[in-house]
Every structure is written in structure tokens, then in C-alpha cells.
Amino acid sequence: MNNYISENKDRFLNELLDMLRIPSVSADPKFKQDVIRTAEFVKARLQEAGADKVELCETAGYPIVYGEKIIDPSLPTVLVYGHYDVQPADPYELWNSPPFEPVIKDGKIYARGACDDKGQMYMHVKAFEVMMQNNALPCNVKFMIEGEEEVGSENLGTFVKNNKDKLAADVILISDTGMLANDTPSITTGLRGMSYMEVEVTGPNRDLHSGLYGGAVANPINILCQMIASLHDENNHITIPGFYDNVTELSQEERAEMARAPFSLDKYKKALDLSDIHGEEGYTTMERTSIRPTLDVNGIWGGYTGEGAKTVIPSKAFAKISMRLVPNQTSAEITEKFTKHFESIAPASVKVLVKPHHGGEPVVTPTDSVAYQAASKAYEETFGVKPIPVRSGGSIPIVAMFKSELGLDSVLMGFGLDSDAIHSPNENFGVFNYMKGIETIPLFYKYYAEMSK
């Protein structure tokens, strides 16, 4: 198999670059035709690789690409999930090369989606081709590649609920996360959930002259800033009543185990040009970004932001606020607690409107399962060291639903690095990582089939 992989390396890369040229930004309707073209691209590549029953499953939003290869119903079935949509590329001016004109430089593929998730998803299509061409597919496989992950996967949730038979499988396999470093592989064993909110604060019924009215009328931007600032206390705990009620606290043993993963605070600060870090008192950086819930403003706007100065008290101010959730919080519970609290802290001088966006539930995956053990052996073989289990701070909303709706655990075989700059300008993915993924995935199938016997 490794011969086949090295002989076809250039083609494997070029096919990925072709997909990266299509700007499949799900958040922006301007790219609608491109998102659909990307679904068609994935469909065609799955067909070429040898999948059967390949189809675009229509949803209320973007289509889901489905395909399968059932070689023997008595063998275990792996359901591969990934996404072909990408985040918006803004701000374009901060990219060193255009986000949808991929280039390979210093061993890295630069483009929006290079890592998240086109590069990582496509490793699975190529790994499948490798197994097919070498008569080495040891299990049944189903592919489900969606186009709305970056906007909350709501239609995929409905699809999963309505297609339980079609999606029947033994395990879910996903590459949409990262690992610690190229010489320190890790397997993600947890994802945070999410409650995403938008708030609108209204003061006077029109923008006002800030000289004539300033000091006598509430400025909605000032008020919104005060309200947001009050959501954390001096120890950076979140002040929403009951916010931590259901949070599962880890035991000292579990925390000590986590602390064994290599981590350098110095390198962390250097990579981000920070003089100091910040976060909830009583927890380490690793804990703050994995086992603890958080609240962050993603955007805030209102008033005059154009050239020069305009003296105005704006009528309205807005913010987008997201909360990352951990077991046993639920997005419904947190959305309600946030809404109640935010409404209650608004002074009578303004009106406040809270609009919930998408949510998702947190998840922790087992490390004692056959599937985890198979993944661990696969990484050990290709990286030469045993991977470390690590809980991640990111979210993939569908993973908790795979468990609740299909009863299936996921194995999160990520090959990305923190330095890949996903969601940021100059997103990239190492050629090393792409090829390692294509090499490691078939070994997962091999060990999973062997160990399931």
C-alpha cells in the first residue's frame, strides 16, 4: 500500500488543490453555486475511488454526499464523516496568497479549508482508494460528507434522525481535529458544546447628537460593554447564575493524568505574541481550553466606524456571544440561563433583545473501545510513538448526535496542528500531515477489523 501511496502522491495533492480552488463558504449565500459544485466534486471523486450508491442527498440547505462500499454484511461497518464547506476567508488582505488559489510552500498547503476540513476529509477518500486498489479493504465503509458544519449542521441533524437504517454502522470515523505535534501524535477524546447568541441593545429611537444629548441618554454601546464586562468576575469565572451547576468536575487523578501531556507555556505565548495568558483562576491553560466552559464575544458593532470622526449616540448596539460547553451542560439549559440573565442585567434606560443561534452538545469519547485501540495502534505504527488522548476545546456538533441518535461512538483521528491557522488568514496543512493521514487511516481499518473479530 505504501508504494501505491508514494507513486500517487502528486495526484493526491493535485486533486486536493483542485477542490481547494472552489470557495465553498457555507455562511455566505454569495458562494451558493460554489458550495454545490464542491459537493459534486466530492461525489465524483468518491465514485472514481470505487464507492457504490454515491449520491447527493438534498436537505433544506446544502446537500450531503453519501457513498458506501459494502463488501460483506457480516463485517463491521465504519461510517466516515467530514465536511466540504469552509469558513469565510475574511479578512482577505491578511493572506499572503489568495485563499482560494492554493499554493504549496515550505511543505505546507496554503488555502482556506486546507486543513479544516477539505484536506482532512479528502485523506479518507484517498485512503479508501488506496485500500480498494490494493484489495485491502477489510470492513464495510459508508461516507457522509456534509456542507454545513461551519454553520451548525442543523440539516445534518435532521438527516441523521431520518436515515438511521441507511447510516447503520459500528463506529464513526472523523478527521476534523488536530494533534499535539508531528512527533507527538494524539487522538482527540472530547469536544466542547456550544451556545451561540446574538444580542441587540436599543437606546433612543434614533441616532442622536452626542453634544446635545450626551450625558443624559443611555448610550447603548456603553451599556452593552458594561453588560458584557459583568459576565466575568475578577477571577474570570462566568457570572451567569447557575452556569456551572451541571459542569462535571474532573478528579485530581484525572487532572494529573491530563497534565502529563507535553505543553510549553513559553512556546504557547510566543506563537501568539502574548506577554501573558489569561483565564479562569484555578485551572491550567490546557484545562481552560478543554474541560472548562467559556464565554467569548465574537463580534461587537454599532455607531459610527467609518473614516474620521462623527459625534453620535447610536440608537443600537449589537454583539455575537458564544459559550463553549462541557459535560454535563446542555445548550438548551445554557441558552436559557444566558437569556434570562442578560435580560435581567439591562438597565431600564435600554431595551435588550437576545436571539439564540445554533447550539451543540459536548461529548467525551471512550478510550477503552476497540475503535480507539485500533486508532492508537495505527498512529503508533506510522508515527513510531503511541498517541496521547487529549480533550479538545473545539466543537463538532454532530458528534454528540451520533451518540444520542445512532448510539455510536466516534473516533477523532485528527492530523492537524495548532499552527495550521484554521478559521484564520493563511490556513495551511502540512504535506507531511496529509500523507501521514492517508497512510494511517488504512491501518485503522485493518486493526479495527482484526480486533472486532
The interface with ligand BES within residues 216-235 (CB under 6 A) comprises: none
Smallest gap from residue 277 Cβ to Mn ion (A): 23
Return the half-sphere exposure (C-beta side, CA atoms, 13 A cut-off) of residue 403: 16
Rounded CA-CA distance 169/146 in Å is: 18
Closer to ligand BES by Cβ: residue 77 or 177: 177
Active site residue 90: no
Q: Which of 38, 186, 331, 395 touches ligand BES by CB under 6 A? A: 395
Binding of ligand BES by 392 (CB under 6 A): yes
Taking the complex as a whole, how short is the minimal distance between the CB of residue 218 and ligand BES, in angstroms? 33
Interaction site with Mn ion (CB under 5 A):
116-117, 176
* Type and span of the H or E element at 7: helix 2-7
Give the contact letters, 36-75, x = binds to ligand BES (CB under 6 A), - = no.
Answer: ----------------------------------------
- Give the list of residues 6+ apart from residue 390 with CB closer than 8 angstroms, or none: 179, 180, 186, 187, 188, 189, 261, 290
Map residues 76-115 to x or -, x wherever contact with ligand BES holds by CB under 6 A.
----------------------------------------
**Partner interacting with residue 387 (select from ligand BES, Mn ion, none; CB below 5-8 Å by kind):** none
Angle (CA) 87 92 94, round 5°? 110
The answer to whether 330 and 300 are in contact (CB under 8 A) is no
Amino acid making up residue 34: D
Q: How wide is the angle at C-alpha 332 spanned by C-alphas 343 and 292, nearest 5°?
A: 90
Which residue in 34, 68, 85, 148 is the catalytic one?
A: 85
85 is catalytic: yes
Nearer to Mn ion (CB atom), residue 116 or residue 409: 116
Q: Are 338 and 240 in contact (CB under 8 A)?
A: yes
**The only residue of 160, 396, 398, 441 in contact with ligand BES, by rule CB under 6 A:** 396
Residue 189, all three cell numbers = 477524546
Catalytic residue among 34, 129, 148, 149: 149
The residues, any chain, with a CB within 8 Å of residue 40's CB and separated by 6 or more, are 56
Number of H helices, E strands in the chain: 13, 18
Q: Whose Cβ is closer to ligand BES: residue 152's or residue 442's?
A: 152
Query: Segment contacting ligand BES (CB under 6 A): 170-178, 312-320, 361-369, 400-408?
Result: 170-178
Q: What, of Mn ion, ligand BES, none, does residue 392 touch, CB below 5 to 8 Å by kind?
A: ligand BES
**Type of residue numbered 416:** G
Label residue 103 exposed, middle or buried (CB < 10 Å: 0-12, 13-18, 19+): middle
Among 102, 152, 157, 430, binds ligand BES (CB under 6 A): 152
Q: Which residues are catalytic?
A: 85, 149
